[in-house]
Amino acid sequence: MKSARSRYSGYRFPAEIISYAIWVYHRFCLSFRDVEDLLAERGIVVSYETIRLWCQKFGADYIRKLKRRQGRLGDTWHLDEVFIKINGQQQYLWRAVDQDGDVIDILVQPRRDQRAAEKFFRRLLQGQGKEPFRIITDRLRSYSAAMRTTLSNVAHCVDRYANNRAEVSHQPTRQRERQMRRFKSAGQAQRFLSLHGVVQNLFRVGRHLLRSTNHRLLRSRSFATWRTATTA
């Protein structure tokens, strides 16, 4: 495993500043220029372009480490796909969340046919390491066809309103899409949304359901996990 020194070797700013900038950008609905201003207020002069490069450079590594620490998620998968416009072309964002609303994985693809559904199922199985107890989707026939070849032993539910959890999970993506004035490429959307989903899982602790003391405890644990994963 690479040490913090080797990972951030050659960078003018320490790991704490780099990881903080990436966390702020993915945790809140901010632009790179907004993050630049937040750092400038603290006496840290860095350009928004440098922050963008930090996100590209370290994002994938953060995703791997955070996913390793979150472990296997729930055994009921809610799947849904939503179209996104990228450079004038229609792409599809496939998303899977568990029964608690945590994002399991996302995948940007140009189609939503059986082949695309099978690719997404294989990605989910590889990431979770185990078949789910049940899969809930809408009535898109690609799901049923893909399940017959990939997850034939898993219960499949297509009841009306049963998949509201997955449909609601697209709202933060739409919000960020408007903030960013659309995604610039499929690769950029995949990189950003993969880390965005993991960060949201880590810091979405159900504040409205907890006493303030418990909420602060869970939030502190989330910060500790982030610092450990980024070795900041």
Cα gap 232→225, rounded to integer Å:
11
pLDDT 10s digits, 57-82: 999 999 999 999 988 899 999 999 99
In the predicted structure, residue 53 carries a pLDDT above the cut 80? yes
Is there a contact between 35 and 48 (Cβ–Cβ < 8 Å)? yes
pLDDT 10s digits, 154-202: 999 999 899 999 999 999 999 999 989 899 999 999 999 999 999 999 9
Class of domain 76-184: alpha beta
Which residue in 206, 152, 203, 195 sits closest to 173, CA to CA?
A: 195
Is there a contact between 166 and 136 (Cβ–Cβ < 8 Å)? yes
As annotated, the residues of the chain forming the CATH 3.30.420.10 domain(s) are 76-184
H-assigned helices in 98-140: 114-128
SS3 108: strand
In the predicted structure, residue 24 carries a pLDDT above the cut 50? yes
4 confidence band (pLDDT: 50, 70, 90): low
Is there a contact between 99 and 168 (Cβ–Cβ < 8 Å)? no
- Which of the 8 DSSP states describes residue 86? E
Identify the residue whose tokens are 């799947």: 79
Helix (H) or strand (E) holding 81: strand 76-86
The pLDDT of residue 1 is 45
Is there a contact between 104 and 124 (Cβ–Cβ < 8 Å)? yes
The whole-model pTM stands at 0.91
